[in-house]
Amino acid sequence: MKRLSKNRPLRAKLLGIDVMSVLMQKLFAFLKRDFLEEASYKYSFIASFFGIFLSSATFFFISKLISPNSSSVLAPYGGDYFSFVIIGIAFSGLLAIFQERLPAIIRQAQVTGTLEAILVSRTSIPVILFGSSLYYFLYSIASTVFHLILAVVVFGMQVEKINWLGAVLTFLLTALCFLSIGILSACFILVYKKGNPFSWIYGSVSGLLGGVFFPIKVLPVWIKWISYILPITYSLEGLRKSIIVTSPFSEILPNIIALSVFTVVFFPLSIYLFRLALKKAKKDGTLTHY
């Protein structure tokens, strides 16, 4: 009869190499799990990329209605509506992924019971949350890149010189900011199970007032202030300036600062609120309630 070998307790070395290695292995485990699950639904995988093609084509033909350089509000973005809107829809997809996928993952784990199995393991809450979003984060990068390649190669979007520093910083801060909003949505799901108001209120308001489909300059003054409190406004502004019109870093910086402020406030707050939500669910005994 085989005997179980005793695992030595993990000892964090001075440089924290063990801790980092274990952390990376955990994140990789989440990534692998989600990849294997998603890849097992082959047609959904292919369909999502086909959907990107269809939405790009739709906006390509809509943009034919707006002559280049005919609108003064599009002038700061190079004057081409297709380039403007493709950045909007490609990167707002990132918001949708964090805002909808993370709560959906938590909900699914809650309903099936995998959440309990994960929570009883020796993995901290931030790692569970970050790990659960990792695949979708990488997937969103892939779909955003696919969106842009399609726009450039198939639909002739003009990209001259990308400000990589501005684009990468804006993208990373955008991802962290949207992840925080996703975690806030997940808090609601953890406690109330369904009817997540973050998803539809924030999602709809961001779509309408965040500059996804049109520049916020066209909005009436009395409503424009809402745009300025939405992180997506700064994300899209920073990304358009980095990708379409290749602005100097100093012009992108205000957007990066605004996104940093949102991230510094929302990220720790969302983790804290998730801990509270988890505590409430443990207190109420509703971790696996449907």
Partner 1 sequence: MNAIEVKNVTKVYPAIKGYKELLLHPFQRKGTTALRGIDLEVRPGQCFCLMGPNGAGKTTLIKILSTLVLPDEGKAFIKGHDLEKETDEVKKHIGFALAEERSFYWRLTGLQNLDFFAALNNIPLSKRRKKIQEVIDLVGLEKAAGRRFNTYSTGMRQMMAIARALLTDPDILFVDEPTRSLDPVAAQNIRTFLRKEMVENHGKTVFWATHDLSEAAEFAHTIAIIAEGQIKAEGSVRSLTGQGSFPLKEVYEKAVKEPAPESKAFGN
Helix (H) or strand (E) holding 207: helix 203-209
Nearer to partner 1, 56 or 133 (CB): 133
Q: Is 13 in the site for partner 1 (CB under 8 A)?
A: no
288 binds partner 1, rule: CB under 8 A: yes
Dist CA 94 CA 138 (whole Å): 10
Which position among 13, 17, 28, 201 is part of the footprint of partner 1 (CB under 8 A)?
Answer: 28
For residues 134 and 105, the answer to whether their CB atoms sit within 8 Å is: no
Gap between the Cα atoms of 10 and 82, Å rounded: 53
Q: What is the DSSP string of 3-66?
A: -PPPPPPP---TT-HHHHHHHHHHHHHHHHHHHHHHHTSHHHHHHHHHHHHHHHHHHHHHHTTS
Of 220 and 285, CB closest to partner 1: 285
Cα gap 225→184, rounded to integer Å: 23
| Complex with partner 1: residue 33 or 224, whichever CB lies closer | 33
Closest to partner 1 by CB, 11 or 161: 11
Q: Letter for the amino acid at 107? A: R
Kindly state the smallest distance separating residue 93's Cβ from partner 1, in Å: 25
Q: Does 42 bind partner 1 (CB under 8 A)?
A: no
Contact mark string toward partner 1, 104..123, x via CB under 8 A: -------xxxx-xxxxxxxx
Q: How far is the CB of 274 from partner 1 (least distance, A)?
A: 16
Nearest CA-CA partner of 207 in 67, 81, 59, 85 = 85
Contact 60, 153 (CB under 8 A): no
Taking the least distance from each CB to partner 1, the nearer of 3 and 194 is 3
Q: How far is the CB of 45 from partner 1 (least distance, A)?
A: 13
Site for partner 1 in 122-161 (CB under 8 A): 122-123
Q: Which listed residue (160, 194, 283, 290) binds partner 1 by CB under 8 A?
A: 283
In angstroms, give the least distance from the CB of 4 to partner 1.
Answer: 5
Query: Which residue among 15, 40, 50, 250 contacts partner 1 (CB under 8 A)?
Result: 40
Q: At what angle do helices 125-153 and 164-192 cross, to 10 degrees?
A: 130
Rg (CA), the chain: 21
* Residue span binding partner 1 (CB under 8 A) among the ranges 29-37, 61-69, 210-218, 268-276: 29-37
Member of 13, 20, 37, 204 binding partner 1 (CB under 8 A): 37
Candidates 12, 17, 20, 36: give the one binding partner 1 (CB under 8 A).
36
Q: How far apart are CA 67 and CA 73, in angstroms?
A: 13
Name the nearest CA neighbour of 236 among 263, 255, 261. 255
Other C-beta atoms within 10 Å of 249: how many? 13
Q: Which residues bind partner 1 (CB under 8 A)?
A: 1-7, 9-10, 21-22, 25-26, 28-30, 32-33, 36-37, 40, 111-114, 116-123, 279, 282-285, 287-288
